[in-house]
Each structure stands twice: as structure tokens, then as C-alpha cells.
Amino acid sequence: MGTFTHDITLISRSGDIRQRVEALVDTGATFTSVPASLLERLGVEPERTVRLQLANGQIQERPIGPVRAELNGIQGTIVCVFGEAGEPSVIGAVTLEIFLLSVDPVERRLVPVVGYRLERETL
């Protein structure tokens, strides 16, 4: 699958700061990641540190925290990695699932999908 970018807007807790970011869409990445300096400017505080495996097999520990985001005109709260300076911003799989979006690899775009849930009768 080829890669492509898509805009995501991050919003401060008070709503007075909105920052649009062009990010690489990466279904292989668990979380969305943007530079830590941007998250700090938005007032996002780390909740915890997680272990993340890079494509080369190396394990990194990075802080994550909740941030309001907007994708395709819809707002929601996502978990975001405090990325290092110089790293590309990435939209990861958890964010795509939160926003009920999937990847169209041919058209290189995000498309809405229907979510799933368990029926009570199947329990």
C-alpha cells in the first residue's frame, strides 16, 4: 500500500488553540503521534509512558496523553504520542477506529465505515 497524508486538527482543552497538522496515515502505527512541543503548546499532559516497537525492531518508551482532535469535520478525543522533534506526524490505527475511518489505498484517502457491536441475543 502506498502512503499518503491527511490533515488532522488538534484542539487545546479550552478550545482557544487549534493547530492543523499534515500527518502521514499509517495503519501500522498504533497511536497518532505529533511533536511533543505542539502537544505541550496545546496544554496536553502525558498520562503514562508506553512501549512502542519501531519498524526496525527497536523498542522505544514514549509518553502519551489525551487530546481533542478533528478529522473530516468530526471531533473526538484521541490518545497521542509525544513525538520527538523532527519525526513526522502520524495518524495511527486507534485514531482511525475512534473516528470510524478506513483507508482506501487506491484513492489514497480516508473513508467512513460502519462500526460493530455485539448483539445482546448472542450472549
Q: How does pLDDT run along the chain (123 residues), one tens digit per residue?
A: 568 999 999 999 999 999 999 999 999 999 999 999 999 999 999 999 999 999 899 999 999 999 999 999 999 999 999 999 999 999 999 999 999 999 999 999 999 999 998 887 766
Written as one string, the DSSP assignment of 30-75 is: SSEEEEHHHHHHTT----EEEEEE-TTS-EEEEEEEEEEEEETTEE
SS3 content of the chain, % helix, strand, coil (to 5): 10, 45, 40
Write down all domains in the chain, each with its CATH number in brackets: 5-122 (2.40.70.10)
Pairing between β-strand 59-71 and β-strand 74-83 as defined by DSSP bridges: antiparallel
